Amino acid sequence: MAPVPAQPEAPPGATPEPGRVVLDARDIARALTRISHEILERNKGAGDLVLLGIPSRGVPLAERIAERIASVEGYDVPTGSLDVTMYRDDLRLKPARALLHTEIPEEGIDGSTVVLVDDVLFSGRTIRAALDALNDLGRPRAVRLAVLVDRGHRELPIRADFVGKNLPTSLVERVKVTLAGIDDVDAVTIHGEPGTPGAPAGERP
Amino acid sequence: MSTSYLVKNVSVLGGEPTDLLLRDGVVAEVGAGLEADDAEVVDATGLVALPGLVDLHTHLREPGREDAETVESGTQAAALGGFTAVHAMANTEPVADTAGVVEQVWRLGREAGHCDVYPVGAVTVGLQGERLAELGAMADSAARVRVFSDDGKCVSDAVLMRRALEYVKAFDGVVAQHAQEPRLTEGAQMNEGELSGRLGLTGWPAVAEEAVIARDCLLAEHVGSRLHVCHVSTAGSVQIVREAKARGVDVTAEACPHHLILTDELAATYDPIYKVNPPLRTRADVEALRAGLADGTIDVVATDHAPHPHEDKDCEWAAAAFGMLGLETALSIVQETMVDAGLLDWAGVAERMSYAPARIGRVADHGQPLEVGAPANVVLYDPSVRRTVDPAQSASLSRNTPYRGMELPGRVVATFLRGRPTVLAGALV
Amino acid sequence: MKRHLLSAADLSRDDAELVLQTAAELRSLADRPIKKLPALRGRTVVNLFFEDSTRTRISFEAAAKRLSADVINFSAKGSSLSKGESLKDTALTLEAMGADAVVVRHGASGAPHRLAHSGWVRSSVVNAGDGTHEHPTQALLDAFTLSRHLGRGKAGSLDGRRVAIVGDVLHSRVARSNALLLATLGAEVTLVAPPTLLPVGVDSWPVETSYDLDAVIPKADAVMMLRVQRERMNGGFFPTPREYSRRYGLDGRRMATLQDHTIVMHPGPMVRGMEISADVADSDRSVIVEQVTNGVAVRMAVLYLLLGGAQPGGEE
C-alpha cells in the first residue's frame, strides 16, 4: 500500500499540468505580505501569536508569513504545523492515510492567538478538523484563519479572517497551489475549467 | 442366486481389450468375444481391469470413534476406491490387542459386506510399548491376524521389537513398524527443515524415521524375521530399505499416496488438513519415494486412510489430529504420480496395490492375477476422465481429504468382491 | 499494508517505513495534555490472549484506547478459554460482538494465521505473539527504537547498521520477526547462539549466524538479548545456566568491548544474571525502558493503518 496523501494536490515534484495561472510568484508574495500586515493589525502586534500551518502547503505559507512578521516587528512568531488527518470526517471513506507532521511550538497554545494557515479554503471541512485537533492541544484565546485562496462552496459555517485572493470557481474546477520548497515554483493555477478538454470531476479537499 | 457378470472389452492391466466372465465368485472365462446368456453385461470399453485392491493400512476407527468412521462407512469408501480388502489398524478404543476385539472388527466387516476386513493386531498391550499383546491368540482367532502393528506409535524399545519379530514367526506373521523415534519427535508438528524453522512449528527430522528403520532392518536380519515398514516418507528411508533388500533382509515397505504427491510447503497455510504422521516431506523426498516405488524398493502403496471429525481439524495446527483420508483417491493419485508419469504400468499398479499387499498380509483370497479360476475380485477403472475432489461426496463419515478442489485423473467405475458388485457405475451397490 | 499483520514478512519495506513514520508522529502524543486521538472512534478492538502477557496486552490496550477505539479484553484466566473452548468458537463469539480487529496471543504457532484465513472472522487480525513463530509488533517497536538511536535519514531506515540478536533463537518469536523485519529495513543482522538454539535451516534466513558472542559484539551497533526461558534450562539445550551465562550472557566485561554508540536491547521480561547482568540492564546503553514507551506508539500506528481507513485494512 502506498501512503495516500492527505491533500488532493499533486505529489511534490510533479510536473504541473497546464492550467490557467491565477496567481504567479509575485502575486503570492504580495498576498502574503498583505496577510502578514493584516494579522499584525488585527492582533495589535505580534505578541501571543502562534502560526500553525496545515500540512503540506499550509506549513511553508505559515513560515513565510512568520518571516514577514519578523522583518516588520523584529520578533520571531512561534510557528508550527498541525496535521488534521485523524480528525477528518472522511477518514473512513478512503484507505488509511499516512500522517503528516505535527509540531506544536514549545510554548504551547494555551492563551495565545492561533492563526491557522492553509493554502485553499473550499468546503471548510479541513478547518473544522483543525479546530477539533486544536481542542485536544489546549485552549487558545482566539483562533483565526489565513488562506491563500478562498474558492467558495462552503459546506460548514466557517470563514477566513485573512484571504490572499477570493477566487470564484465552479465545482468541477480544481485549484492547485504550488510552492517553491515543496514544488518547483510558486503558483496558483486553475484546472478543468468548463470548455477545456479533460475537465476532471470536482474533487473536494 | 448369484448373478454372473460379463465384462466386455476391458483392458486387463492395460492390455488388449478382452472379456471377463465372473461367475460363482471366480473368474470363469477370459477371452475376446465371450458370450453368456445368463450374465449381466458390463460394457467396459476404455476401462482398465485390475485385481481388487488390497490396503495394508486403513483406520476404520470402530470400535471407539464411530463419529469419525465405522466399519460400514470405511469399507464403503474402500469399495468406491477399488479396494476389495483392507487391513484395519489396531489403534481403536479399545485397542485391537485381544482376540475379542479383532474378531469383533472382522465380524463387522463381514456384516457390512463392502470389502473384506482383515484386522491388524496390536504388537503391545494398549499400544503402550511395554509388553507383547497376545499375538498368538489373535493369529488363532476367527480373524486370523497376520499383520501386527502399534501404528500411530512406534515400537521403539529394541528388545521388545526383537521379541515381536521373533515371536510372530510361529504363525508366519509380520510386524508392521511405525518408524518414529519418540525422543527425536517430541512435540513434532511437521517435517524438520527450513520451513519448520520459519513457521515456528516443531520439526520432525527425517532421521527420526530413518534411524528406526535402519535398526529394525538390522534386527530383522539378525533374527531372520520378516519386517514391514509402514508409510516410508523420506529419501533416506528409501535408501536404507534398498540397501537392506540388497543384503537379503526380508523387509517390505509401503508408501502412502499423499507422500507421493504433497509436500511440506502446504504447512505454510497452517491448515491442519495437511497435518499427518509421518509429515509431508520435501519435493526431493517425493521424488525418491516415486523412484523407490518404481524400482520395487517400496513394495506397496497403502492409504493410511485416517478419518477425523471436523472439529479435530477445524482448529489451530498444534491442536489438530494427525491424518488424512485416502481410500477413495489412492488409485487416482497413483495414476497421476506413477502411471501418467511413466514410472509404473498397470501391471505394476496391480503388483503394488494388490498382489504385494495381499502377499505381505498373507491374504489368500485377494491379490491374484485375473486368470481363470482366480477369485473374482476386480476393479474396473476409467483412467481417461478427470474429476474434482468434493469431500461432501465421500462415503467416509469424515471430510479430512487434503485433495479438496484438486482435479485428479481417473475414476473407479465398478468393484467386484468375489463376483458380486460392491460398486457399479461409480456408485455403491 | 495487508489486511492482517501476522508476520514481519507481511511488511514490505514501504509498509514497514510507513508504520515507523506513523509511529514517530504518534509518539509525540505521549507529551501532550490529552493523549487521545479520535481516529478509531466507534471501532472495536479485541485483545484475545490465550497466553498470559500483561505487558503486551497493556501496550495494545493503551494503543487502542489512545485512538478512541472500544477495547474488549478476553484472556485465558477466568474465562471459557481455559476450559477448552476452541479457538473457532471464541472467534465466532468475537465476530458476533462486532470486533473490527482481533489482537491475538496464542501458544500455538500459526493460530493468528488460522484465525485470519479460516473464514471464522471478518476482522483484521494482529499477531501479538504465536508459539515459537512470530511477534511482529515487537519487531516493529525494536526497529523503531533502533531507528531513533541509529537511524540514518528518514524514520525506519537501518541501512548498513549491524544488529546482534543473542540467545534462544530457536524458541524465540521475537528473533524470527526481528530477523525478517530488520533485514527488510536494511540492517545486517547476526544471530548469536549455541548451535542447539539455532533453528534448522537458519542458513536460508537473511542473516548471518555465529556461535561466538565475543567476536560479534565489538562490531555491533545494537545488541539485542533474548530471554532464556526457565523450561529450556533443563531441556538439554546447554549443560548448565552458568555455562550459558559465561558464553552467551552480556555482562559488564563484554559491555566494555562495545562501541561507544552501541545500544543494548531486551524484549523483556529479563532474567537478570542469566542472559544479562544487572549492571548492563541498568546502564546508559540500555534502552529497555524506552522500548516499552515505543511499543505503544508502534501499536497505535499498526491499529491506525489497519483500521483507520475505509475497510479494516483493505486487501491489497
Cis peptide before B233 (omega within 30 of 0): no
Task: Tell me whether strands B420-424 and B427-428 are parallel, antiparallel or unpaired.
Answer: antiparallel
Residue B304 shares a structural domain with residue B317: yes
Reduce the DSSP state of residue B387 to 3 states and report it.
strand
Judge contact between C167 and C248, C-beta under 8 A.
yes
Residue B42 shares a structural domain with residue B61: no
Smallest Cβ distance to A101: which of C25, C39, C316? Answer: C25
* CATH for C234: 3.40.50.1370
Q: Do A1 and C15 touch (CB under 8 A)?
A: yes
Residue of B nearest to C170 (CA): B197
* CATH for B33: 2.30.40.10
Residue stretches of the annotated binding site of C: 55-56, 83, 105, 135, 138, 173, 227, 268-269
A195–chain C nearest CA distance, Å? 34
Which range among A5-9, B297-301, C152-156 has the greatest average pLDDT? B297-301
Say if B366 falls within a structural domain.
Answer: no
Burial B55-80 (b: 16+ CB within 10 A, else e): bbbbbbbbbebeebbbbbbbbbbbbb
Residue C282 shares a structural domain with residue C297: no
Q: What is the structure's pLDDT at B13?
A: 97
- Does an interface of 3+ CB pairs under 8 Å exist between B and A? no
Structure confidence by residue, pLDDT tens digits, B127-185: 999 999 999 999 999 999 999 999 999 999 999 999 999 999 999 999 999 999 999 99
Residue B91 marked as a ligand binder: yes
Number of B:C CB contacts under 8 A? 79
Residue B177 shares a structural domain with residue B43: no
Q: What is the structure's pLDDT at C316?
A: 34
Judge contact between C36 and C46, C-beta under 8 A.
no
Residue C87 shares a structural domain with residue C162: no
Look up cell 509540531; give the residue: A103
The Cα–Cα gap between B270 and C44 comes to 27
Q: Do B271 and C114 touch (CB under 8 A)?
A: yes
Residue C106 shares a structural domain with residue C176: no
Q: Is the pLDDT confidence value at A8 over 70?
A: no
Sign of CA dihedral B211, B216, B221, B222: positive
What proportion of chain B, given as a percentage, has pLDDT over 90? 98
Residue C169 shares a structural domain with residue C118: no
Residue C156 shares a structural domain with residue C86: no
Neighbours of C304 (CB within 10 A): 29
Residue B227 marked as a ligand binder: no
Question: E strand or H helix at A131, and its extent?
Answer: helix A125-135
Q: Do B201 and C202 touch (CB under 8 A)?
A: no
Q: Do A96 and C1 touch (CB under 8 A)?
A: yes
Q: What is the structure's pLDDT at C269?
A: 82
Residue C217 shares a structural domain with residue C273: yes
Query: Mean pLDDT, chain B, as a whole number?
Result: 97
Say if C312 falls within a structural domain.
Answer: no
Residue B44 shares a structural domain with residue B56: no
The Cα–Cα gap between A185 and B157 comes to 84
Q: Quick check: A106 contacting C, CB < 8 Å?
A: no
Q: Is the pLDDT confidence value at B300 over 90?
A: yes
Smallest Cβ distance to C310: which of A94, A101, A104? Answer: A94
B37 given a catalytic annotation: no
Residue B31 shares a structural domain with residue B141: no
Say if B369 falls within a structural domain.
Answer: no
Say if C44 falls within a structural domain.
Answer: yes
| Over residues B291-309, mean pLDDT | 98
Q: Is the pLDDT confidence value at C153 over 70?
A: no
Residue B327 shares a structural domain with residue B416: no
Residue B94 shares a structural domain with residue B167: yes
Say if C1 falls within a structural domain.
Answer: no
Say if B368 falls within a structural domain.
Answer: no
Phi, psi of B85 (to 5 degrees): -150, 140
Range of the domain at B29: 4-48+374-428
Residue C72 shares a structural domain with residue C156: no
- B partners (3+ CB pairs within 8 A) are C
Q: Do A94 and C316 touch (CB under 8 A)?
A: no
Question: Dihedral of the CA atoms B268, B271, B273, B276 (nearest 10)?
Answer: 50
Structure confidence by residue, pLDDT tens digits, C49-86: 988 888 899 999 999 999 999 999 987 665 555 555 68
Residue ranges of C 36-95 with Cβ closer than 8 A to chain A: 36-39, 67
Query: Mean pLDDT, chain A, as a whole number?
Result: 87
B318–chain C nearest CA distance, Å? 6
> Looking at B330, B360, B390, which one is the last position of a domain?
B360
C245–chain A nearest CA distance, Å? 44
Structure confidence by residue, pLDDT tens digits, A28-65: 999 999 999 999 999 998 889 999 999 989 999 999 99
Q: Quick check: C308 contacting A, CB < 8 Å?
A: yes
Domains of chain A: 25-90+100-171 (3.40.50.2020)
A54–chain C nearest CA distance, Å? 15
Say if B237 falls within a structural domain.
Answer: yes
Residue B384 shares a structural domain with residue B398: yes
Residue B304 marked as a ligand binder: yes
* CATH for B137: 3.20.20.140
DSSP E strand boundaries for chain A:
20-23, 49-53, 79-81, 113-121, 142-150, 162-166, 174-178, 187-191
Q: Tell me which of B124 and C227 has the higher pLDDT.
A: B124
> Looking at B305, B329, B360, which one is the last position of a domain?
B360
Smallest Cβ distance to B270: which of C114, C176, C204? Answer: C114
* Cα R_g (chain C), whole angstroms: 19
Say if B80 falls within a structural domain.
Answer: yes
What does the block give as the cell for B205? Answer: 527430522
Domain count, chain C: 2
- Residues of C tagged active-site: 55-56, 83, 105, 135
Q: What is the structure's pLDDT at C158?
A: 92
Residues B216, B304, B312, B382: which is the catalytic one? B304
Say if C52 falls within a structural domain.
Answer: yes
Residue C180 shares a structural domain with residue C229: yes
Q: What is the structure's pLDDT at B345?
A: 98
Phi, psi of C160 (to 5 degrees): 80, -5
Look up cell 517390505; give the residue: B252
The complex's ipTM? 0.91
The Cα–Cα gap between B386 and C173 comes to 44
DSSP secondary-structure letter at B229? Answer: E
Q: Is the pLDDT confidence value at A5 over 50?
A: no
Bridge partners of A150? A121, A166
What proportion of chain B, given as a percentage, has pLDDT over 70? 100
Q: Is the pLDDT confidence value at C289 over 80?
A: yes
Cβ neighbours for B243, distance < 8 A, ≥ 6 positions apart = none
Residue of A nearest to C314 (CA): A95
Residue B44 shares a structural domain with residue B155: no
The Cα–Cα gap between B109 and B86 comes to 10
Say if B365 falls within a structural domain.
Answer: no
Judge contact between C47 and C56, C-beta under 8 A.
no
Bridge partners of C135? none
- Does an interface of 3+ CB pairs under 8 Å exist between A and C? yes
Structure confidence by residue, pLDDT tens digits, B103-133: 999 999 999 999 999 999 999 999 999 999 9
Q: What is the structure's pLDDT at C208?
A: 96
Structure confidence by residue, pLDDT tens digits, B57-110: 999 999 999 999 999 999 999 999 999 999 999 999 999 999 999 999 999 999
Say if C75 falls within a structural domain.
Answer: yes
Chain A residues lying within 8 Å of C34, measured CB to CB: 136-137
Structure confidence by residue, pLDDT tens digits, B233-282: 999 999 999 999 999 999 999 999 999 999 999 999 999 999 999 999 99
Residue B321 shares a structural domain with residue B421: no
DSSP secondary-structure letter at B115? Answer: S
Top residue of A85, A92, A137 to mutate, by most chain C CBs within 10 Å, is: A92
Residue B403 shares a structural domain with residue B279: no
Q: What is the structure's pLDDT at A139?
A: 93
Q: Is the pLDDT confidence value at C191 over 70?
A: yes
Domain count, chain B: 2
Say if B367 falls within a structural domain.
Answer: no
Distances (CA, A) of B158 to A100, A189, B248, C260: 69, 88, 21, 59
Residue C301 shares a structural domain with residue C209: no
Q: What is the structure's pLDDT at C84?
A: 57
Residue of B nearest to C108 (CA): B318
Say if C316 falls within a structural domain.
Answer: no
Q: Quick check: C26 contacting A, CB < 8 Å?
A: yes
Smallest Cβ distance to A86: which of C21, C38, C310? Answer: C38
What proportion of chain C, given as a percentage, has pLDDT over 70? 94
Q: Quick check: C1 contacting A, CB < 8 Å?
A: yes
Range of the domain at C89: 8-135+292-307
Q: Quick check: A91 contacting C, CB < 8 Å?
A: yes
Q: Do A92 and C310 touch (CB under 8 A)?
A: yes
Confidence of residue A1 (pLDDT cuts 50, 70, 90): very low
Residue B391 shares a structural domain with residue B249: no
Say if C63 falls within a structural domain.
Answer: yes
Say if B271 falls within a structural domain.
Answer: yes
Residue stretches of the annotated binding site of C for L-aspartate: 83, 173, 227
Chain C residues lying within 8 Å of B189, measured CB to CB: 109
Q: What is the structure's pLDDT at C155?
A: 66
**Which of B127, B121, B190, B113 is closest to B155 using CA atoms?**
B127
Say if C315 falls within a structural domain.
Answer: no
Reduce the DSSP state of residue B72 to 3 states and report it.
helix
Residue C149 shares a structural domain with residue C229: yes
Q: What is the structure's pLDDT at C313?
A: 43
Q: What is the structure's pLDDT at C34?
A: 84
The Cα–Cα gap between B334 and B294 comes to 11
Least confident window among A73-82, B33-42, C283-292: C283-292
Judge contact between B151 and B113, C-beta under 8 A.
no
Q: Do A132 and C38 touch (CB under 8 A)?
A: yes
What does the block give as the cell for A22? Answer: 491565477
According to the 3-state scheme, what is the secondary structure of B232-298? CCCHHHHHHHHHHHHCCCCEEEEECHHHHHCCHHHHHHCCHHHCCCCCCCCHHHHHHHHHHHHHCCC
C119–chain B nearest CA distance, Å? 11
Q: Is the pLDDT confidence value at A141 over 60?
A: yes
Q: What is the structure's pLDDT at C271?
A: 83
